[in-house]
Amino acid sequence: MSTSVAVERLKVIKGHLGNGKLDTHQGEKRFRFSLKSHPLLTDADRIFYEENGYVVVRNLLPHNLLDKWSQRFRDICEGKVDKGRITLMKDLSLSKTGVTGERLYNKIQDFMWDEVLYEFISFPELCDVVECFTGPNMHAMHTMLINKPPDAGSETSRHPLHQDLHYFLFRPADRIVCAWTAMEKVTRDNGCLVVLPGTHRGMLQPHEYPSWENGVNKMYHGIVGFDGHNRMHLPMEKGDTVFFHPILVHGSGANRTKGFRKAISCHYAASECHWIDVEGTTQDSIAEEVKEIARKRGLELGIQDIWKYRSRLVRGVEVNLC
């Protein structure tokens, strides 16, 4: 083996052992959590993501489209259009108050087959940034339009600190990314996201429903025994989009205003990701909960088939997730 080849191999090994830290030795830059740069995601942005597990791209989505998608949400909640495969979820504190329509539902999920809301998932500039994390072949795996309601005093509008990977049956985690867009101004008062920078370098932790006095919304699992110190709030303007890693610990506060706080999001995964078996792991309980929800909708499917049913190829070609 020549000296030059040996040196190159040592550099590769050093990069693997560096746990994704930026290596600027001799002008080289090695990244673990992203694959390439883009005019919308510079090397500086990638360095920030390496260190913190998230990065915000300002004013990425046009306001007129956000307004269009907000109206689509209202039309779905009010039954003006067919909801198709979309799942409508009610806020715990509002489900017995007699409110209807937009005021009743705090979230819709699985809108990747809705012709209007799919415009968000496939928005070109958004996908250009996503491709920097997933590569050219990407699936939309999980979609949500979140309509955080005014808190009724019970703080059920909070979302406990959690890691999104808890819900996912595919790996590797580093080729999964969430794009979360503010549909209106998001502040600490109306329940902005909170993140714990750097936690994306850790491990997936056990999750369960928190023991909150007034209960917690369906599927709102939180990390067991996690104190959440050093959290950072992420106020955002309408159209801003935060991209974050699925192991990053995050959540959101209560909405203490009189209005709703809307955000739209999609988790993307590289088509090269593979399925994993979670039986007997800390993810077993959430898998069973997902299957139970599917059964209530008349779908007797295995957990992988459920995920295949609710995902959609956005760019590139099918590989493993089809």
Q: Distance from CA of residue 154 to its chain's centroid?
A: 25
Pull the structure tokens for residue 302.
């295995």
Phi/psi at 12 (5° precision): -65, -45
| Assessment of whether the complete model's pTM goes beyond 0.85 | yes
- Cβ burial 158-196 (10 Å sphere, 16+ → b, else e): bbbbbbbbbbbbbeebbbbbbbbbbbbebbeebbbbbbb
Tens-place pLDDT, residues 276-314? 998 888 888 888 888 787 787 777 778 888 888 889 999
CA 322 – CA 311 distance, rounded (Å): 8
Q: Where are the domains of the chain?
A: 31-315
What confidence tier does 97 reach under pLDDT thresholds 50, 70, 90?
low
Can you tell me whether residue 258 is helix, strand or coil?
Answer: coil
Of 294 and 156, the structure prediction assigns the larger pLDDT to 294
CATH: 3.30.70.1230, 2.60.120.620, 3.10.20.30, 3.30.1280.10. Which one for 31-315?
A: 2.60.120.620
Q: What is the pLDDT of residue 27?
A: 39
What confidence tier does 21 reach under pLDDT thresholds 50, 70, 90?
very low
Task: Name every residue whose Cβ is closer than 8 Å to that of residue 312 and which is 6 or more positions away in sequence.
Answer: 112, 113, 118, 121, 139, 140
- pLDDT at residue 20 greater than cutoff 50: no
Tens-place pLDDT, residues 101-151? 777 888 999 999 999 999 999 999 999 999 999 999 999 999 999 998 887
Report the mean per-residue pLDDT for the chain. Answer: 86
**Run of H or E residues at 31:** none
Contact 106, 149 (CB under 8 A): yes
Tens-place pLDDT, residues 38-96? 999 999 999 999 999 999 999 999 999 999 999 999 999 999 999 998 989 887 666 66
Q: Where are the alpha helices (DSSP H) in 37-172?
A: 43-52, 63-77, 118-121, 124-134
What confidence tier does 155 reach under pLDDT thresholds 50, 70, 90?
low
Tens-place pLDDT, residues 27-41? 346 799 999 999 999
Share of the chain above pLDDT 90, in %: 60
Tens-place pLDDT, residues 234-264? 999 999 999 999 999 999 988 899 888 999 9
Task: Name every residue whose Cβ is closer than 8 Å to that of residue 260 and which is 6 or more positions away in sequence.
Answer: 102, 147, 148, 149, 150
Of 94 and 170, the structure prediction assigns the larger pLDDT to 170
Phi/psi at 146 (5° precision): -100, 130
Q: What is the pLDDT of residue 217?
A: 67
- pLDDT at residue 204 greater than cutoff 60: yes
